[in-house]
């Protein structure tokens, strides 16, 4: 019996996170969506200059995608509406590097957790970077907030051993803040860094209006987060190396 629901037309909000050339003028694009995760999709003829699918099939195209959807198979793009062209980000090599990294990281974290939150966090981060907020700080906030989805969140509510909220440093190996009683050989970390880590962990990215943080402080946070990812996440992202070179 033929199942009619095998192919359905759907409209989904999403962002193109990667693409590969397909035949002469087409591409296979991977769209990260809120409702259906990552959808592989043929975009026929999109490399032709006059194709109506050209812009919506570019990397980091962000909008609503209309497609013939086939679960677990390649879908076919019918049409799309761009929500935001991300012009500021796409014309800036530094910002576009952060976008590449964030997309790659989000796909990896999504594959581990399959949580709808990942898309919402990625979307909020991309829009903040486009608005002109410091991309390194936005990226660090996302990295910190993703930790719980890969099962290695840091305890930033009090000492990881006793719960005391008078903390003096952070221990990556113990997985959180440490009070003076439970500190062994961990170096002391600046109080501002400690406080901001907690703020990064809980802030609603879409509501950020002010990111006035000293470079020395934000760089220290970046260093700690990078070290934690390298040691404990098991996620290895190609585009991260490029970011580290930029920094
Ligand atoms: Zn303690």
Ligand 1: centre distance to CA 186 (Å): 13
Q: Does 3 score more than 70 pLDDT?
A: no
- As a whole number, mean pLDDT of residues 18-25 equals 95
Ligand 1: centre distance to CA 158 (Å): 8
Band of pLDDT at residue 4, cut at 50, 70 and 90: low
Confidence (pTM): 0.93
| Distance, CA of 216 to CA of 158 (rounded, Å) | 24
- As a whole number, mean pLDDT of residues 29-55 equals 96
Ligand 1: centre distance to CA 166 (Å): 8
Q: What pLDDT is attached to residue 6? A: 65
Task: Express as a percent the part of the chain with pLDDT over 70.
Answer: 98
Q: Does 79 score more than 90 pLDDT?
A: yes
Ligand 1: centre distance to CA 179 (Å): 4
How many residues belong to the chain? Answer: 247
- As a whole number, mean pLDDT of residues 199-212 equals 94
Q: Does 5 score more than 80 pLDDT?
A: no
Band of pLDDT at residue 195, cut at 50, 70 and 90: very high
**Tokens 């099962």 appear where?**
151
Give 178: exposed, middle or buried? Use CB within 10 Å, 0-12, 13-18, 19+. buried
Eight-state DSSP code of residue 124: H
- Asked if 60 and 102 count as a contact pair (C-beta separation under 8 A), the reply is no
Q: What pLDDT is attached to residue 188? A: 95
- As a whole number, mean pLDDT of residues 25-37 equals 96
Ligand 1: centre distance to CA 181 (Å): 5
Ligand 1: centre distance to CA 177 (Å): 8
Q: Does 148 score more than 70 pLDDT?
A: yes
Determine the 3-state secondary structure of 28 from DSSP.
Answer: strand
Q: Does 224 score more than 70 pLDDT?
A: yes
Ligand 1: centre distance to CA 198 (Å): 17
Ligand 1: centre distance to CA 138 (Å): 30
| Distance, CA of 62 to CA of 14 (rounded, Å) | 6
Name the average pLDDT for the chain: 94
- As a whole number, mean pLDDT of residues 100-118 equals 95
Q: Does 1 score more than 80 pLDDT?
A: no
Ligand 1: centre distance to CA 119 (Å): 35
Q: Does 166 score more than 80 pLDDT?
A: yes
Q: Around Cβ 196, how many Cβ atoms within 10 Å?
A: 21
Q: Please report how the helices 117-131 and 93-113 are oriented relative to each other, as an axis angle in degrees rounded to 10.
A: 170
Ligand 1: centre distance to CA 164 (Å): 5
HSE (CB half, 13 Å, CA atoms) of 76?
7
Q: What pLDDT is attached to residue 237? A: 86
């Amino acid at each position: 019996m033929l199942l009619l629901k095998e192919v359905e037309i759907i409209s989904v909000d999403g962002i193109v996170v990667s693409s590969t050339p397909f035949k002469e003028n087409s591409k296979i694009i991977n769209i990260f969506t809120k409702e259906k995760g990552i959808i592989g999709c043929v975009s026929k003829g999109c490399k032709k200059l006059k194709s109506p699918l050209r812009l919506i099939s570019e990397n980091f195209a962000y909008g609503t995608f209309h497609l013939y959807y086939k679960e677990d198979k390649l879908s076919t793009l019918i049409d799309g509406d761009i929500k935001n062209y991300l012009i500021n980000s796409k014309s800036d090599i530094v910002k576009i590097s952060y976008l590449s990294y964030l997309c790659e990281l989000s796909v990896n974290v999504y594959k581990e957790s399959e949580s709808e939150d990942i898309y919402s966090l990625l979307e909020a981060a991309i829009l903040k970077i486009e608005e002109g907020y410091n991309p390194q700080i936005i990226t660090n906030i996302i990295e910190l907030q993703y930790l719980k989805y890969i099962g290695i969140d840091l305890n930033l509510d009090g000492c990881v051993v006793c719960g005391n909220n008078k903390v003096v440093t952070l221990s990556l190996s113990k997985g959180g803040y440490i009070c003076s009683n439970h500190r062994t050989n961990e170096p002391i970390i600046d109080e501002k860094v400690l406080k901001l880590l907690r703020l990064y962990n809980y802030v609603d990215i879409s509501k950020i209006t002010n990111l006035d943080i000293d470079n020395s402080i934000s760089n220290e946070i970046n260093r700690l987060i990078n070290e934690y990812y390298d040691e404990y996440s098991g996620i290895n992202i190609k585009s991260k190396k490029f970011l580290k070179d930029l920094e």
